[in-house]
Amino acid sequence: MLRENTHEEISVFSGADINQILDLAQKSHENYLIRANTKDLDRALVYYLEAIKLNPELAEVHYKLASLLWEKGEIDLNSAIKHCKKAVKLAPYSSNARLYLGYFLRAAQRYEEAEKNFQQAISLSGFRSSRPRLVLSVTIMERLKKTDFKTFDLFKAVYFSITGIAASIYDVEILKIFYKTVSEKFSIYKYRLCAEGFKYLRNYKKTVELCKKAAVKTGRRDLFYCKIGDLFIELQNPQRAAEYYLQLLKEDPDNSVMWAKLADILQTHDKKNIKGIIECYKNLARLQPDNSKIFYELGHLYLRSENKFNSVNAFKRAVELDPKNGFFHNSLAYALVQLQDYDGAINEYQQAIRLSRDNEWTSIVSQALGAIYHQVKDNIEAAIVCYQTSILLDKDNFDAYIALSEAYQDKNDLDNAINCLCSAIKLNSNSARTYCNLGLLLWEKGYTEEAVVAYQKAVSIKPDYAIAFNNLGVVYLDGRCKPEDAIKMFNSAIKHNPNYTLAYYNKGRAYQALEKNPEAAEYFQMALDINSLTGEMDEQDIQNRIYDLFAT
């Protein structure tokens, strides 16, 4: 969309005649051709639109508006051609109207019509026919690539190219723009050279002052403010750098380079500013709608801000742009899990697995897929296949062995579950949790002494492991029939976790085994009180224990 007129522009229009407005439009247009600054493009558009309001019969305004609007992406080729045809109708002897019409016809691959208009522009221009000759040469070459090759047409293209170069010395507009371009480039070069000199001498204050002056003198704020920002980055002052980048973005919100620089500053020095980083990437996505990596990064940023719906949409866009990227499918699957769309997540994880060529990474993806089958779909067989695939792809995937063990345990296949934990211990012998899980399985299999060894190993690795102390106490109490030793273990569990309901309950059971009913009742009551806060156990089980103490 075109921006609204600024106060400065409104004041210019007040009392200005059409020639003044056209002059301003022409200057802005020339500046845009030299600098490629969207601000100049917007100004030119505003001036030309005002001119067409004052006089809709001006051919020049129609074809230049067509060029600028198409450049900005606000009209399609058919609309641009229509504007230029109107210009030709208004001024049938205008070489520029024919030139612009030919240009858009060529862009639409209507080569014969384009060549005809270029030839007419050449006839109308006389000695000043450099541009239509050069563009006619290019058009003929393009046509030859897409149609039957003809030697005569090749010679024509060469002829118009050579004569176009020769005629450029008579083309005032080309010479004018060339002179302005060279003059501006020299001025920019002069200021940049001086700024580099001050920077080399470490006179940074003077460097900034000179760049500010250069920005005003040359009109290239985009170039010199960017240079100031980059200097502050080198001086490790990201806040000041961001200030200059933001100033540029206020004037030119379509500057993707500045948005990228600002995003980099925020991600490096202000990671908590998720909102600001997202804003940068949203603008980058707006300016580069076909860049899949931008949408991929944006998806992760939305995940960090817990914006689940937008994260899914961003990842979906990344997948649309690059459907063969397994990483994109994997991230989309993870985002869908956050929305509890498990069927969609399963499909995306499967796609990621099919597309990946990295075994280690695919192993992790397969494990994630197994977790959905296991924990959500309750499909143990499918989960086991996924976990086994994960291990097959990466035999060092410790977590996959643990997950497979849990799946076998849920299937009541304790032997395979124990084997998986033993394999995991071979990979990492310092995991207290693994030894604790192994102790539980060995206990369930009736291997009391082996279970004791596993639990003792767990607490030796992690001396504050309350669960392992509690479980070891259960083995002493119910397996070895040693309630005194069991009480010591339960005391350790309670010491490391004062709100551990089950440890109080089991300590009560140990006192009950010693026929110390008052102490047993005390700990059952403590378990009951704590359980009202934690909800760890079935309250009725604890109450039944208390009733049993005094039933006889």
pLDDT of residue 5: 43
Digit-coded pLDDT (tens) for 158-200: 888 888 777 766 665 544 544 444 555 666 677 788 888 888 8
Distance between CA 41 and CA 173 in Å, rounded?
A: 18
If one compares 37 and 373, the residue with the highest pLDDT of the two is 373
More confident of the two residues 96 and 513 = 513
Q: Is the pTM of this model over 0.75?
A: no
Q: Express as a percent the part of the chain with pLDDT over 70.
A: 91
* Average pLDDT for 425-429: 95
Name the percent of the chain lying above pLDDT 90: 53
Q: Determine the pLDDT at residue 143.
A: 86
Tell me the pLDDT band of 29, cut-offs 50, 70 and 90: low
Which pair of tokens denotes residue 511? 């006192």
501-523: per-residue pLDDT in tens?
Answer: 999 999 999 999 999 999 999 99
Q: Would the pLDDT of 124 be above 70?
A: yes
Q: Is the pLDDT of residue 403 over 90?
A: yes
CATH 1.25.40.10 describes domain 465-552: yes
Q: Which CATH architecture best describes the domain 7-177?
A: Alpha Horseshoe (1.25)
> What pLDDT score was predicted for residue 32?
62
Least confident interval from 138-152, 221-235, 276-290, 375-389: 138-152
Architecture (CATH level 2) of domain 289-356: Alpha Horseshoe (1.25)
Q: What is the mean pLDDT of residues 423-431?
A: 95
Residues 6+ apart with CB under 8 A from 61: 22, 25, 48, 51, 52, 55
**How confident is the model at residue 19, as a pLDDT?**
78
Do 7-177 and 289-356 fold alike per CATH? yes
Does residue 364 surpass a pLDDT of 70? yes
Where are the chain's structural domains?
7-177, 289-356, 465-552
Q: What is the pLDDT of residue 173?
A: 59
Instruction: Answer with the residue of higher pLDDT: 342 or 62.
Output: 342
Name the 3-class secondary structure at 430: coil
User: Which residue intervals of 270-397 are DSSP H helices?
Assistant: 274-287, 292-304, 308-321, 326-338, 342-355, 359-375, 380-393
Residue 26's pLDDT is: 73
Q: Helices (H) and strands (E) in the chain — how many of each? A: 30, 0
CA–CA separation, 458 vs 435, rounded Å?
5
Task: Reply yes or no on whether the pLDDT at 318 is more than 80.
Answer: yes
Mean pLDDT of the chain: 87
pLDDT at 231 over 70: yes
Extract the tokens encoding 369: 């897929």
